[in-house]
Amino acid sequence: EVQLVESGGGLVQPGGSLRLSCVASGFPFSSYSMNWVRQAPGKGLEWLSYISSSSSSRYYADSVRGRFTISRDNAKNSLYLQMDSLRDEDTAVYYCAKEGSASYLHHWGQGTLVTVSS
Amino acid sequence: DIVMTQSPDSLAVSLGERATINCKSSQSVLYSSNNKDYLAWYQQKPGQPPKLLIYWASTRESGVPDRFSGSGSGTDFTLTISSLQAEDVAVYYCQQYYSTLYTFGQGTKLEIK
């Protein structure tokens, strides 16, 4: 069974940093591309970032490019999101998502809440 | 970026009746080399993460009831629930994966009338 477990969320002040983690199990992690998606309270889904299986390709939404960095450690079956220069509008539940055989988002974690507030 | 626009924003349908949700992309998501539409549908129930329902615009994910179907091509797509059940109350999202920058529709909230 595929499992994705996010952690690292919490309360952070504007301008601060946070690092999210997503630990994967139940599938060959090193063979799949991964993504981060967020959902602000009461709002819709916003795709944030993609990383290929080998980390050779990384893409970002305009809203986070230059502030967020996606990475992975295939030896640890882990995906990361380094979030810097956080803003109030970054408050959201952050999900990691595994791609399927193509680029649809096949499996999702339960999410971790990030609150940016002074 | 490819903009995905869903309609309606909300929908109330009686149990057993058909529900139809539309999704329009600002440019075609049909990849000519393989004739596949890079369009997926997700269901999100309150307090839960999204769940993949449909990919390649019309391929039902394993385990998804056959009352859910996807159709359309190019820029116009539809998710149809043929006979609404109480457990189908959720927000539904379309998403394009044609571009390297994925985008979602704004979501359609489906309720029971």
Separation in Å, CA of B50 to nearest CA in chain A: 7
Q: Which two tokens stand for residue A93?
A: 């539940």
> Is the Cβ of A113 closer than 8 Å to some Cβ of chain B?
no
Q: For residue A102, what pLDDT is reported?
A: 84
> Is the Cβ of A103 closer than 8 Å to some Cβ of chain B?
yes
Q: What span, in angstroms and rounded, lies between the C-alpha atoms of A17 and B104?
A: 26
- Which of A46, A109, A110 lies closest to B104 in CB terms? A46
Chain B interface test: which of A49, A52, A103, A107 (most B C-beta within 10 Å): A103
- In order along its 118 residues, chain A shows pLDDT tens digits of 999 999 999 999 999 999 999 999 999 999 999 999 999 999 999 999 999 999 999 999 999 999 999 999 999 999 999 999 999 999 999 999 999 888 899 999 999 999 999 9
pLDDT in tens, B18-76: 999 999 999 999 999 999 999 999 999 999 999 999 999 999 999 999 999 999 999 99
Distance in Å from the first CA to the final CA of chain B: 36
Which chain B positions have a beta carbon within 8 Å of A104's beta carbon? 40, 52, 55-56, 95, 97
C-alpha closest to that of A95 among A2, A1, A9 = A9
Phi, psi values for residue B43, rounded to 5°: -115, 135
> Is the Cβ of A106 closer than 8 Å to some Cβ of chain B?
yes
Q: What span, in angstroms and rounded, lies between the C-alpha atoms of A51 and A111?
A: 18
Q: For residue A20, what pLDDT is reported?
A: 98
